[in-house]
Amino acid sequence: MKQRILFAFALIVGMGVFFLFPRPHDPGVPPGNDLKESIARVSADETIQVNVWMKDQLDLREIKPEVAHLSWPEQRVLMINLLKQHARRSQEDLLKYLAHKKGEVEVVKTFWIANLLTVRARPALIEEISNRADVALVEADMVKITPAGAKSAWSESMSNNAESNLKVINAHKLWSLGYTGEGVIVMNIDTGVMGDHPALQASWRGNVAPASESWHDAVFGTTTPAIACSDPHGTGTMSVMVGLDPTTEDTVGIAFGARWIASTFDCSTFEIRSSVFDALQWGVDPDGDPNTTDDVPVVINCSLRSDADALSKPCGNNYASLINTNIETMGIAVVYAAGNQTSPQEDDSMAIPARHPDVWAVGLVDATDPNHIILRPDLEKVLGCYESTLDLRAPGVNIRVASNDPTNYRIVSGTSESTPHVAGAIALLKQAFPNKTGPELRDALFATRDPQLKLIDVEAALHHLGNVVVSQYR
Ligand SMILES: [Ca+2]
């Protein structure tokens, strides 16, 4: 179902030392027009921030067969070290060159999850960088990134309640078998999380682990869960994954036994694409030690979209999608909201990056309708590009979620709310099948989705994965 971008490369393993010989390749994306537009907007003396994608990219899918005999933690250590080594070597020349341009350029961040760096410089120097033989693509970093929006109404706390949308995907059937996501970590990249909300407070991983490996905020500098940009969006998406008020037993989340970690992205006036890359990279190894795996989420929920006009339309960015596939190859599922385009005039198809074939896209059904109707089914066709890359659907209309007011909830609609249903379902399955990876568990949801609606059924996925001895878990 997912197209693969094949990158040529070879791996030789011996004496505990790994030698990597990547060959130059180009995933085949034309230079982003957004860079020209960004340069046109500034004078020669002003600086702009860009993402510099190196030509040599390391696609972990290519080494997966070579390391499949190793244990899962061993594979992760190897892959993280390979990525870091590869990026360091590949970026060395460029960084030396930039060091000679002292005062003219700021290296904002170097990445390893894919081979890129974020720099800020004047247009003339950016032009020089983009003409280098080792650079594949230079893109403007300032791109509007928006949470996949939602309408809202207030709601009170409710006692002994479990929301109906959770039952539509049969989450309650897994609860009755004892699966609540216990021992599992989920993560979102969003507008922050109101950590004091009673539906979320107890399940933050920072209660039982260092805050620094449970909360990441490279944008605003907070060190414990906080809301960013005054936006309740991230609090809501997190609550769909794990929300439960233990005092009132008000259940708004699917995997309420799981623990959550989170990262903000730059949701201030101009959103910075590299802040999402940074959040994704942090999520792969939150404690910064590849040898430990008890800090790693099984799924990263991304209820956000980029401005389609600002990226390389119409097909998305193969380079950026490599970040997702590298994370997935390390066992973490990454799910994206398909977007909430409401009219053909607004946009003709699915959001970026959800539309890319290598990115998992979640749409919505209106589960308040007895037929679970699909809204805007034509959205899943990316005109002139992909026939369909929408993978799964989940309830997304009138979903009750935690708000930034600790005493209140909101009623919201959108693919922002359907996407964390999938993430929560993966967390439930992870407790039942701890040796399966996030992508493998999501594959089970894919294999057992409703053939017409693409609606997930977590109970069917559980049975698809194998026979579970129920009594063992009661
Ligand atoms: Ca770790």
**CA 272 – ligand 1 centroid, Å:** 26
Query: What confidence score (pLDDT) does residue 33 get?
Result: 52
According to the model, what pLDDT value does residue 377 have? 61
Taking the centre of ligand 1 as the mean of its atom positions, its distance from the CA of residue 263, in whole angstroms, is 16
pLDDT, mean of residues 177-203: 97
Mean pLDDT for the chain overall? 84
Instruction: Compute, in angstroms, the gap from residue 220 CA to the centroid of ligand 1.
Output: 23
Give the pLDDT of residue 404: 92
Beta strands in 156-284 (DSSP E): 161-162, 185-190, 215-216, 244-245, 250-251, 259-264
For residue 376, the CA-to-ligand 1 centroid distance in Å is 41
Q: How close is the Cα of 184 to the center of ligand 1, in Å?
A: 14
Average pLDDT (420-444) is 97
Listed range (197-206, 264-273, 441-450) with the worst mean pLDDT: 264-273
Q: From ligand 1's centre to the CA of 331, what distance in Å? A: 13
How many angstroms is it from 298 CA to the middle of ligand 1? Answer: 13
Report CA(279)–ligand 1 centroid distance (Å). 15
Ligand 1 centre and the CA of 386: distance in Å? 36
pLDDT band at 21 (very low <50, low <70, confident <90, very high): very low
pTM surpassing 0.95?
Answer: no
pLDDT band, residue 142 (cuts 50/70/90): confident
What separation in Å is there between the alpha carbon of 182 and the centre of ligand 1? 19
- Second-level CATH architecture of 146-465: 3-Layer(aba) Sandwich (3.40)
CB 435 within 8 A of CB 186: no
Distance between Cα 293 and ligand 1 center (Å): 5
- Alpha carbon of 327 to ligand 1 centroid (Å): 14
Residue range 97-121, pLDDT digits in tens = 999 998 899 999 999 999 999 999 9
What pLDDT, on the 0 to 100 scale, is given for residue 277?
94
C-alpha separations of 84 from 20, 113, 114, 218 in Å: 12, 8, 9, 20
pLDDT of 14 strictly over 50 = no
Half-sphere exposure of 171 (CA within 13 A, CB side): 31
Bridge partners, residue 335, by sequence: 301, 360
Taking the domains of the chain in order of start, what are their residue ranges? 2-140, 146-465
Report whether pLDDT(466) > 50: yes
CA of residue 289 to ligand 1 center, whole Å: 4
pLDDT at 52 > cutoff 90: yes
Measured in Å, residue 412 CA sits from the centre of ligand 1 at 34
Q: What is the pLDDT of residue 135?
A: 96
Q: How close is the Cα of 290 to the center of ligand 1, in Å? A: 4
35 band by pLDDT with thresholds 50, 70 and 90: confident
